[in-house]
Amino acid sequence: MAEKKHSKLAENIIKLVGGKSNIEKADNCMTRLRIGIIDQSLVQKEKIKSLEGVLGLVEQSGQVQVVLGPGKVNKITDIVKEMLSRKSSQGKEKNINEVAVEARKNLKDKQKQRASANFVKHFANIFLPIIPAFVGCGIILGILNVLNRLTAGSFASSQLGMELALFGGLIYFGLNIFVGMNTAKEFGGTPVLGGIMAAVITTPGLSGLTIWGDQLIPGRGGVIAVVMLVIFTSWLEKKIRKYIPESLDLFVTSTLVILIGGLVALYFIQPIGGTIASGIAVFFKYLLANGGPFAGFIMAGLFLPLVMVGLHQGLIPIHAQLLQELGYNAFWPILAMAGGAQVGSAIAVYIKTDKKRLKNIIMTALPVGVLGIGEPLIYGVTLPLRRSFLAACLGAGVGGTVIAGFHVAVTAIGISGILCTIVSNKPLLYLIGLAASYIGGFVFTWLIGFDDSIYAEEE
């Protein structure tokens, strides 16, 4: 029964975005089906939003993101991909609409080659595939932290403790390589060459080299240096390939990319990337040390609007960089309060509303909201009710104030909500901050109120 519903929903989504001919590609993150669109004027936004099972819709340049929620989004995406891969059995000549769509696609492809790329979208495509590894390794490190606290630190030196530390640290061991490969893929280079360039930044052999009078440090610049370098080498690879005969491409192109890219990495990218990465870490340390609770209020309160438009993905490299530079991240738990405030706001709505469909949406979205996945609550509850979205932003600020005031930090990213407790340096204080965000979201929603009349028409 569920499979039938998923298939029907996938079919309707494809139809309402303009059909298969209007789709470039389909992929997903943890909660959203991301569809590359050729002509956005063909997308029937309101009809998509009204589909049963759809929690919201986000439009970006050349893309439509359908919010479906965790777990479900993977199943729907697989079905959509399967439907897109089926070839039409009709051998008809193209009609005028198909010709027009193809012309628009060709124009769009040319525009993509220009320098007007959307870097937030690129960052999302680079880092989103790595998030499951962050989450899995983070949970393992969290379990290790809990067991260490219970045994006064003795568990870490046990065989199992050392194994958990090994498994939990794997994401950081391979992070630069993963980022390098994804960056090359995103910018049109060969993924394995992107991984090789990341290795140039990371290899222990750097410690024996001196450039510009300074000894090189393995890993300096972290993911920032890797992204900068691989964007350059992906461009370089495409340029070289234009002038190399196909018979020599395998031997010449990769060799030149590694030689030229490697030299650029050593003499320019690592020093520049290192300065930028260190600057980011210093900035956030200064902001939290001097801005204190007020900075926490502003950062947490503004995070939900960033999530709403998808710009929060642009912060992922900053989170990763803070961990690489400092060994902890005090920015992440502040932003996690936005999800907590949504939970509080949704509970207030559930108590006050008499709309059955709205209550059902809240009950479906609340469990994952408590675990830190807030998009179903954003698009299914607070954003459609408008004033409750504002209330959630204010509630997030309350939680962010507490977290910043107590200097709470985490040792892993990718985990929010109540599970973030296990990777926190101050678990009890993190829980107090999370409770403050719940209460803040609830109280502000109760006081400001909301208009749920849009759900009355659907019952």
Decide: helix, strand or coil at residue 34. Answer: strand
Angle of helix 170-186 versus helix 191-202 axis, rounded to 10: 130
**H helix and E strand count, the chain:** 19, 6
Task: Please give the DSSP secondary-structure letter assigned to residue 386.
Answer: S
Q: One-letter amino acid identity for 9?
A: L
How far is Cα 350 from Cα 382, in angstroms, rounded to an integer? 11
Structure tokens at 431: 């829980």
Cβ atoms of 116 and 61 within 8 Å: the answer is no
Decide: helix, strand or coil at residue 65. Answer: strand
How far is Cα 228 from Cα 237, in angstroms, rounded to an integer? 15
Three-state SS string over 402-420 comes to: HHHHHCCCECCCCCCHHHH
- Run of H or E residues at 52: none
Cβ atoms of 31 and 70 within 8 Å: the answer is yes
Catalytic annotation, pick one of 29, 137, 393, 420: 29
Active site residue 29: yes
How far is Cα 433 from Cα 400, in angstroms, rounded to an integer? 7
C-alpha separations of 401 from 83, 304, 407, 428, 432 in Å: 47, 16, 10, 16, 11
β-bridge partners, 28: 33
Decide: helix, strand or coil at residue 309. Answer: helix
CA angle 249-252-255, nearest 5°?
Answer: 130
Comparing C-alpha atoms, which of 176, 171, 134 is closest to residue 277? Answer: 176
Q: Which long-range contacts (CB under 8 A, 24 or more apart) does 96-99 make?
A: 98/21
Q: Which residues are catalytic?
A: 29
